[in-house]
Amino acid sequence: MNIFQYLIGASGITTALIFIAKFTIKWIGDAGLEKYKNELQKETLKYQSSLDKDLELYKIKYQKLHIEQVEILKLLYSKLIRAEKPLEYLMRPIKMANDKPEHEIANEVVTHANNFFDYFDENEVIFNEETCRIIKSIKEKYYEVWKTYSIKEFMGDSATGDLRIKLAYDMMEAYNKTLQVEMQSLKKELRNDFRIKLGIIE
């Protein structure tokens, strides 16, 4: 074997080794990449599954919270109506016959009013500033009317002359203006506010 044959043979072997090395590196690289892709896909699916579970839990919690809020809104409004009815009766200029004595109805006013305002205080955290403003305004008007009635009852038959006339006027104003106009306007605001929260109106 001469030098040229040796060089040609060595060259061929070298070329073959280089080719094999390149192929091996490529195969290892492709295999590694494929393994990485598979691992990444597994992690992605795992992460997606975790996200789906978290989202489902969030939906359940949100639905539960929404249902609780709906029940609070309904109960709060019903307590307002219960508090308003006996007060409206006491303030009427002309009363129809009632099976209950007036002092018993007055006690109902106090009981139902306390139930309404206490329930609001207990759940105030779920209401925004606008809702709180409306309810607190209702509370002020309610106390204003009740104060007028209480003064009239306290004075009783001892009030005479101009004082008697003033008490009668104050009762009429409390009934016609505060109870029938201002309170009803606030109740309408509250109804609309609740309906927006419930998704009934936009």
Higher pLDDT, 143 or 26: 143
Going along the chain from its start, the domains and CATH numbers come out as: 70-198 (1.20.120)
Strand, helix or coil at 201? coil
pLDDT in tens, 36-56: 566 667 767 676 766 666 566
Cβ-contact 142, 50 below 8 angstroms: no
The Cα 172–Cα 176 span in angstroms is 6
The pLDDT tens digits for 111-148 are 999 999 999 999 999 899 999 999 999 999 999 999 99
Cα–Cα distance list, 103 to 6, 144, 201 (Å): 127, 19, 41
Share of the chain above pLDDT 90, in %: 47
> Given this model, what pLDDT does residue 86 score?
94
Report whether pLDDT(61) > 80. no
pLDDT of res. 83 = 96
Between CA 57 and CA 64, with CA 60 as vertex, the angle to 5 degrees is 140
Do 141 and 182 form a contact (C-beta atoms < 8 A)? yes
Q: Which of 170, 143, 149 is closest to 102 using CA atoms?
A: 149
The helix/strand/coil state of 97 is coil
